[in-house]
Amino acid sequence: NAGVTQTPKFRILKIGQSMTLQCTQDMNHNYMYWYRQDPGMGLKLIYYSVGAGITDKGEVPNGYNVSRSTTEDFPLRLELAAPSQTSVYFCASRSSNRHYEQYFGPGTRLTVT
């Protein structure tokens, strides 16, 4: 049982480049989330999904896109990278029960220069 996995661990992008951050969970969780973590700012929700085929925006969605074609996978797409997107990105998942506990991946550290 691997839990939540994320790839890559690190990435450096040039301004204007695109990339996809991968997230996979093997716990059959319906709910999945993408957060970004900036120093001293806690976690900000980018996008979330409540099941395959259903996604919606969180607090800071600008510059990002997501898809959810399967229960397991929830990739995050950056289309035109900007320096403001330099951050650590975490994917999380949880089951549908009301206890709200989320399981987090190890994160992707992205630098845009």
Interface positions, 14-43, toward other proteins (CB under 8 A): 31, 40-43
Question: b/e for 14-48, b at 16 or more Cβ within 10 A?
Answer: eeeeebebbbbbeeebebbbbbbeeeeeebeebbb
**Contact flag: residue 102 with other proteins (CB under 8 A):** yes
CB 44 within 8 A of CB 57: no
**Contact flag: residue 2 with other proteins (CB under 8 A):** no
**Contact flag: residue 1 with other proteins (CB under 8 A):** no
CB closer to other proteins out of 59 and 79: 59
Site residues (vs other proteins, CB under 8 A) = 4, 31, 40-43, 45, 48, 50, 56, 90, 92, 94, 98-107
